[in-house]
Structure 1
């Protein structure tokens, strides 16, 4: 009997679950305990709050070795420098990291008890938290704690820059016919703090499995600092994309008429968002709002072709950026530690 292959569906289907050789088992999983969503306990903000609690205890006993600045206002680089020192401040950081790692291990343990995560053998961890030494140390300690708990799952970091994961993953979701005729695609990664927009070269002639796909130009907008409304965000994203198109024209990059949008939340097949956008400004879950259409009205054509715009969950897209490097396991997942905790699980079906 001939083996069934999964083909990409029509261009109006967003949030794909079946891809050639891969099935998305689930994403945007929301687990609760008595304190709320368990994922909220292991976000970047949660780590800063945890660190602040450690500092308050130190203040009661004497002085705070990190000074007067609130933990949320201390930069990642500052915290990384403190971590390297043998000092009271360094000891405090190690204590906070250890407690955060315990929380993360608990969350992963909860995830692995769910049907869509039960068989996961390896988890790739991305998101802004992991791009620091503090984040890397927390991941290493989490892996050790999981082993002690008897949860035998490998933990690893993205194999490329954190800012690129939510862009590169789109080469595995774009229609293959488009990739054959063009050098690059446009991709957008929308997060609760930042928006990243970039040009992704497929480099498929060098690697047919797209393992060498590369972001050749990227713009990052920290929208949380500007406090935009939803309309402002859409306009700014469109402007960023238009700038990328002009760059490709100047550099003679053959750009496919395709835009991939990675966004938090559960994405319906029609491209609307069911839930999970609480960290974005305004109501992104309204049935009256459709981001792909809003952007298409600004960019109906790229080059000589009509623009195809697809949406998917940001954790799924980040996970797919690692697809070529996950062929040695059958079941795997991704966690993104940023403004919230993104998650997705996959099964290789080759």
Structure 2
């Protein structure tokens, strides 16, 4: 963190768990079984591997109806088109088979999480990440809900209501120091994943809804860094450039931008803003004692609007889940699973 004393009091520290209206009971759980981490079996990576196995079996009998590309290279659009056709096809049969098998894996993983103390009493689980933002993802969620009922596991499943790329940005309005929300129009937020980086301006619209249910991303940039495989240094430089672009845009549009950067990324976040574990999908060593992303960004952006920049970091699943906080007030215990390169997780208890 920068040495200058920030103008506004901070809510706790990096990775804050005790918030005014909700408690983060747990996140980044890493359950293991004989085959490795339980969550790895319900990631988007796992679905692609599963689909590839179905296709390999089909190739032994003849031509693959999904073409020559590996399953990890097939776009969501291609898979959605395969299952959207009203007429039966070999491609649809392949994808439907993978959907049904993956839904069973997801249901099994959910059952394992619900047995953990930090998930005890969870009534509703929202599914986020890039996977649910497709027809295939929607079908998996519906099928997994049916499988859970057959297992006599009674929990509500649904997908995050925001756009796929917005949840991990909007959630930061619930982690921003309250005085900054009152005195500014918008905040800057980053959502760093193993495949993509999203950078955006989140307009709080707190005057329209004091519970921040009307918060909205007004400008967003997405970079698929996995295609370029940048070094850690290059990635940090690109993050700073993306943020600088959003600052210029805010100035041009007359937005009062808070001197704040919210950083969501995978892993267990220590109170000092370092990463204890879980950042293996990010380029370079993010768990090094010599690397501190909030400080690196504050060095490059020491002030915003003439005020000293404050940067806070938290787990990406926690932040994405918090984007749903205003809409979870009818239950006491709830949770989020983010299906992306890996499987993120977090659970919450509402204070009121």
Moved more, 65-74 or 192-201: 65-74
**What are the Cα deviations for residues 203-230 of structure 1, in whole angstroms up to 9, with x where unaligned?**
0111110000000000000000111011
Equivalences for residues 77-96 of structure 1 within 5 A: 77-85=77-85, 86-96=88-98
Give the structure 2 partner of residue 57 of structure 1. Answer: 57
Deviation at 1:11, TM superposition (A): 5.9
Contact 2:11 2:176 in 1 (8 A): no
Alpha-carbon distance between aligned partners in 1 of 2:65 and 2:224, rounded to the nearest angstrom? 29
The ranges of structure 1 where at least 4 consecutive aligned residues each deviate by more than 3 angstroms after the TM superposition are 8-12
Deviation at 1:62, TM superposition (A): 2.9
> RMSD value over aligned CA atoms?
1.1
Q: Does 1:22 align with 2:22?
A: yes
Alpha-carbon distance between aligned partners in 2 of 1:119 and 1:92, rounded to the nearest angstrom? 36
Deviation at 1:59, TM superposition (A): 1.5
Give the structure 1 partner of residue 125 of structure 2. Answer: 123
Alpha-carbon distance between aligned partners in 2 of 1:62 and 1:239, rounded to the nearest angstrom? 49
Q: Does 1:36 align with 2:36?
A: yes
Equivalences for residues 1-350 of structure 1 within 5 A: 10=10, 13-85=13-85, 86-350=88-352
Alpha-carbon distance between aligned partners in 2 of 1:349 and 1:74, rounded to the nearest angstrom? 43
Query: What runs of 5+ residues in structure 1 fail to find an aligned partner?
Result: 1-7
1:125 match: secondary structure: strand
Moved more, 67-76 or 180-189: 67-76
1:18 match: secondary structure: coil
Query: What runs of 5+ residues in structure 2 fail to find an aligned partner?
Result: 1-7
Alpha-carbon distance between aligned partners in 2 of 1:159 and 1:205, rounded to the nearest angstrom? 21
Alpha-carbon distance between aligned partners in 1 of 2:346 and 2:144, rounded to the nearest angstrom? 18
**What are the Cα deviations for residues 299-345 of structure 1, in whole angstroms up to 9, with x where unaligned?**
11100211111000000000000000000000000000000000000
Alpha-carbon distance between aligned partners in 2 of 1:114 and 1:37, rounded to the nearest angstrom? 15
Over 3 Å counting, the alpha-carbon distance change for 1:150 and 1:11 in structure 2 is: closer
Over 3 Å counting, the alpha-carbon distance change for 1:10 and 1:249 in structure 2 is: closer
Deviation at 1:74, TM superposition (A): 1.1
**What are the Cα deviations for residues 25-81 of structure 1, in whole angstroms up to 9, with x where unaligned?**
000000111111111111111111100101111122333222222111111101100
Contact 2:10 2:177 in 1 (8 A): no
Moved more, 58-67 or 328-337: 58-67
Over 3 Å counting, the alpha-carbon distance change for 1:150 and 1:12 in structure 2 is: closer
Q: What TM-score do you get using the length of structure 1 for normalisation?
A: 0.96
Over 3 Å counting, the alpha-carbon distance change for 1:111 and 1:11 in structure 2 is: closer
Give the structure 2 partner of residue 5 of structure 1. Answer: none
Contact 1:11 1:310 in 2 (8 A): no
Alpha-carbon distance between aligned partners in 2 of 1:228 and 1:11, rounded to the nearest angstrom? 33
1:162 match: secondary structure: coil
Alpha-carbon distance between aligned partners in 2 of 1:329 and 1:137, rounded to the nearest angstrom? 25
How many residues are paired up? 343
Q: What TM-score do you get using the length of structure 2 for normalisation?
A: 0.96
